[in-house]
Amino acid sequence: MVFQLTILGTSAAVPTPTRFLSGQVLNMRDQLFLIDCGEGTQSRLTQLGIKKSKINHIFISHLHGDHVFGLVGVLTSMAMQSRKHLLTLYGPTGLQELVETTFRLTYYQSPFPIQCVTVDADQATELIDNESFSVKSFPLKHRIPCVGYVFREKEAERTMKVEKIAEYAIPFTDIKAIKRGADFKNTDHRFPGKGVLIPNSDLTTPPPSPRSFAYCSDTAFDETIVQHIRGVDLLYHETTFLSEMTTHAEMTGHSTALQAGQMAHLADVGQLVTGHYSSRYDELNFILDEAKSVFPNTVLGIDGQTYSVPLVKTPL
């Protein structure tokens, strides 16, 4: 039941000798979601031992090259591994054209199906909603159409207290409903407690709390984002600059570390992970210190590192 984020690269605009470009992999209960695909993403996946065949969804925030120039390389290397199953891409207008045009100009045809979902960069949109998880996009404030994504687990079923099955002679056919919260009344005349309603709380224990992750890059500080990421366990928010560059950050559609900390505080998230650092910074501890000054539970996003959200038991 893992829920963990692996950062492939943390550099903004251009790679540095120690930092690759934007790309992250969210592992949600062994389903892998690739978020942004800067140049070098396929190499990073290989270096970090992340199986491309397990990635069925790729989410692109926007079409600046440092977030998307690695995508076609990932697609073609997936094909080299004999992939046959569907891959779905999500991203703002132009993503499908970018992929199709590159394929056409390079005389390439994908041997596996690729579906491209164009994401509305002006309003929040539900992209996936199944019984295990949901993914929503929401607008970010950047120089070109740009979206963030929020991934949420669905609440799991309650856990049956095994000893209660025998104690109340619960038929196998009733267990599914009880795990979903139903009470139980035994109608079997051979059962001494026939007709007595057994409350669900006596039969089950609560499931762990569902976990969540939000991705915000690239964006200027914008309080309208708060409503979309409120209360997530893990927030990745870009920290391109230190606050000495606040005016420049605003002009270029980016955030300072201080602003990322403010966003984490306003949205009441569990933990903040920084990233998308300007290549002017070799030393990142100033970024960390600045974000921590307003949001203490901040960790530095570092290339190749994994950040886990543990399962937390819901109080009885």
Residues of this chain that bind Zn ion (CB under 5 A): 64, 66, 218
Q: How far apart are alpha carbons 94 and 164 in whole angstroms?
A: 56
Residue 230, token pair as written in the block: 């409120």
Q: Which CB sits closer to Zn ion, 153 or 218?
A: 218
**Least Cβ distance, residue 249 to Zn ion (angstroms):** 12
Q: Which CB sits closer to Zn ion, 92 or 261?
A: 92
Q: How far apart are alpha carbons 271 and 12 in whole angstroms?
A: 22
Q: Which of 287, 295, 285, 260 is nearest to 148 (CA)?
A: 260
Residues 6+ apart with CB under 8 A from 26: 4, 5, 32, 33, 35, 151, 213
Residues 6+ apart with CB under 8 A from 68: 36, 37, 38, 60, 62, 91, 95, 98
- Identity of residue 147: V
Q: Which CB sits closer to Zn ion, 218 or 290?
A: 218
User: Do residues 143 and 121 touch, judged by C-beta distance below 8 A?
Assistant: no
3-state secondary structure of 125: strand
Q: Report the catalytic residues.
A: 66
**Least Cβ distance, residue 283 to Zn ion (angstroms):** 20
Could you please report the per-residue DSSP string of 10-78?
-BSSS--SS--BSEEEEEETTEEEEEEE-TTHHHHHHHTT--GGGEEEEE-----HHHHTTHHHHHHHH
Q: Which CB sits closer to Zn ion, 14 or 196?
A: 14
**Least Cβ distance, residue 44 to Zn ion (angstroms):** 16
| Residue of closest CB approach to Zn ion | 64
**Least Cβ distance, residue 299 to Zn ion (angstroms):** 20
Residues 6+ apart with CB under 8 A from 112: 78, 79, 83, 84, 85, 86, 87
Q: How far apart are alpha carbons 154 and 207 in whole angstroms?
A: 11
**Least Cβ distance, residue 198 to Zn ion (angstroms):** 56
Q: Which CB sits closer to Zn ion, 87 or 119?
A: 119
Q: Can you tell me which residue has the tokens 């998307």?
A: 68
Q: Which CB sits closer to Zn ion, 248 or 313?
A: 248
**Least Cβ distance, residue 282 to Zn ion (angstroms):** 19
Q: Which of 12, 15, 6 is nearest to 40 (CA)?
A: 15
Phi, psi (rounded to 5 degrees) for 305: -90, 155
